[in-house]
């Protein structure tokens, strides 16, 4: 078994809450309302993973399975400029973009298949100077939610999601990579999905994800990140800021 790596979020409190950073060989689920910052954290991790270990990175590249077309190269540019500011050193954003492999998923079956393509790419890059150390699925559940409508489809949806998550866990184990997935919760109670504070996908996502992070909005650019039901860490909260330069304390 390979040693677990830690990927820095760029935020001191957030890292400390996670025992140093986001673990490799584990699934980390971020759930929260629209605008709570899930996609922003995902973008920042896609930048940070490329940094050297001294700067909290994993010297790696990243694969993003983008299901809602929310990946923005311009946002990466701002965050890389933010890094230059933070470390007083020049970074080339084109270099960063080169190591972000984005695949659009058009439906849930396609999304599941893309994990196989991700495995192939990660195998190719395994002995390169930037092996894949992070895979992001943003959003894990949006397609499933749109496609499986009505009570009779629930078991089928859960079975598919379960299979998908096991594929992702295998990816994390095989490549010593972090697996980060997002999951939206509704602001208002929903007739079908029920309790608004519970993530879509319910228990299967809950039990498979090793780390569950509940994000919520606070004042201005502040966001509260709560670690929920971790097997080895205390429940805790961290406050982060989502700024133009990226995530900050
Ligand atoms: P959804 O469930 O809809 O996907 P989300 O949790 O992914 O939502 P994000 O897209 O991560 O939400 O957050 C959007 C918020 O991030 C914006 O409302 C804004 O506050 C902040 N944000 C986005 N881009 C920038 C930027 N360039 N500079 C500063 N803040 C930004
Ligand atoms: Mg989003």
Q: Could you say which ligand is closest to the alpha carbon of residue 41?
A: 1
What's the 3-state SS for the chain?
A: CCCCCEECCCCHHHHHHCCCCEECCEEEEEEECCCCCHHHHHHHHHHHCCCCHHHCCCCCEEEEEECCCCCCHHHHHHHHHHHHHHHCCCCCHHHHHHCEEEEECCCHHHHHHHHHHHHHHHHHCCCCCCCEEEEEEECCCHHHHHHCCCHHHHHHHHHHHHHHHHHHHHHHHHHCCEEEEEEECCCCCECCCECCCCCCCHHHHHHHCCEEEEEEECCCCEEEEEEECCCCCCCEEEEEEEECCEEEC
Q: Can you tell me which atom of ligand 1 is nearest the CA of 139? A: 4
**Computed from CA positions of residues 8, 12, 16, 18, in that sequence, does the dihedral angle turn out positive or negative?**
negative
Q: Which residue has the higher pLDDT, 198 or 34?
A: 34
- The mean pLDDT of 1-11, rounded to a whole number, is 94
Q: Is 223 within 8 Å of 242 (Cβ atoms)?
A: yes
Burial class (CB in 10 A: 0-12, 13-18, 19+), 55: middle
Q: How far is the CA of 242 from the centre of ligand 1 (A)?
A: 8
Q: Is 37 within 8 Å of 180 (Cβ atoms)?
A: no
Cα–Cα distances (Å) from 116 to 17, 112, 222, in that order, read 32, 8, 37
Q: Over the stretch 156-167, which tens digit does the pLDDT of each residue have?
A: 998 999 999 999
Cis peptide before 139 (omega within 30 of 0): yes
Q: Can you tell me which atom of ligand 1 is nearest the CA of 40? A: 11
Q: How far is the CA of 177 from the centre of ligand 2 (A)?
A: 21
Q: How far is the CA of 151 from the centre of ligand 1 (A)?
A: 32
Going by alpha carbons, the residue nearest to atom 20 of ligand 1 is 221
Residues having CB within 6 Å of any atom of ligand 1: 32, 34-40, 75, 78, 184, 242-244
37, 143, 145, best to mutate for ligand 1 pocket (most atoms within 8 Å of CB)? 37
Mean pLDDT lowest among 49-53, 124-128, 164-168, 231-235: 231-235
Sole residue written with tokens 């590249």 = 61
- The mean pLDDT of 1-14, rounded to a whole number, is 95
pLDDT at 76 over 90: yes
Q: Over the stretch 101-110, which tens digit does the pLDDT of each residue have?
A: 999 999 999 9
So what's the pLDDT on residue 182?
96
Q: Over the stretch 173-197, which tens digit does the pLDDT of each residue have?
A: 999 999 999 998 876 555 555 555 5
Q: Could you say which ligand is closest to the alpha carbon of residue 183?
A: 1
Q: Over the stretch 201-214, which tens digit does the pLDDT of each residue have?
A: 565 566 667 899 99
d(CA 42, CA 182): 9
Q: Is 149 within 8 Å of 192 (Cβ atoms)?
A: yes
Going by alpha carbons, the residue nearest to atom 12 of ligand 1 is 35
pLDDT at 226 over 80: yes
User: pTM to 2 decimals?
Assistant: 0.95
pLDDT at 65 over 70: yes
Q: Which residues are annotated as a binding site for ATP?
A: 32-39
Say how many CA atoms lie within 13 Å of 10 toward its Cβ. 26
So what's the pLDDT on residue 62?
99
Q: How far is the CA of 40 from the centre of ligand 1 (A)?
A: 6
Q: How far is the CA of 108 from the centre of ligand 2 (A)?
A: 17
Going by alpha carbons, the residue nearest to atom 22 of ligand 1 is 242
Q: How far is the CA of 150 from the centre of ligand 2 (A)?
A: 24
Q: What tokens were used for 97?
A: 């973009």
Q: Which residues are annotated as a binding site?
A: 32-39
Going by alpha carbons, the residue nearest to atom 14 of ligand 1 is 35
């Amino acid at each position: 078994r390979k040693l677990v790596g830690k990927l820095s979020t760029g935020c001191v409190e957030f890292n400390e809450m996670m025992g140093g950073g986001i673990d490799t060989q584990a699934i980390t689920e971020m759930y929260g309302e629209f605008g709570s910052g899930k996609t922003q954290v995902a973008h920042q991790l896609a930048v940070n993973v490329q940094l050297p270990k001294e700067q909290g990175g994993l010297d790696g590249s990243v694969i993003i399975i983008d299901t809602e077309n929310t990946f923005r190269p311009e946002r990466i540019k701002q965050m890389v400029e933010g890094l230059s500011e933070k470390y007083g050193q020049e970074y080339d954003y084109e270099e960063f973009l080169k190591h972000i492999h984005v695949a659009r998923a058009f439906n849930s079956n396609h999304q599941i298949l893309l994990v196989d393509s991700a495995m192939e790419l990660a195998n190719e890059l395994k002995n390169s100077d930037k092996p894949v150390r992070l895979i992001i699925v943003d959003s894990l559940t949006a397609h499933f939610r749109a496609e499986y409508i009505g009570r009779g489809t629930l078991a089928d949806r859960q079975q598919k999601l379960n299979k998908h998550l096991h594929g992702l866990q295998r990816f994390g184990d095989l490549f010593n990579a972090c697996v980060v997935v997002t999951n939206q919760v509704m602001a208002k109670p929903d007739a079908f999905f029920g309790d608004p504070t519970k993530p879509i996908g319910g228990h299967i996502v809950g039990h498979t994800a090793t780390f569950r992070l509940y994000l919520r909005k606070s004042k201005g650019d502040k966001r509260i990140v709560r670690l929920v039901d971790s097997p080895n860490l205390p429940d805790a909260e961290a406050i982060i800021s989502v700024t133009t330069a990226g995530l900050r304390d």
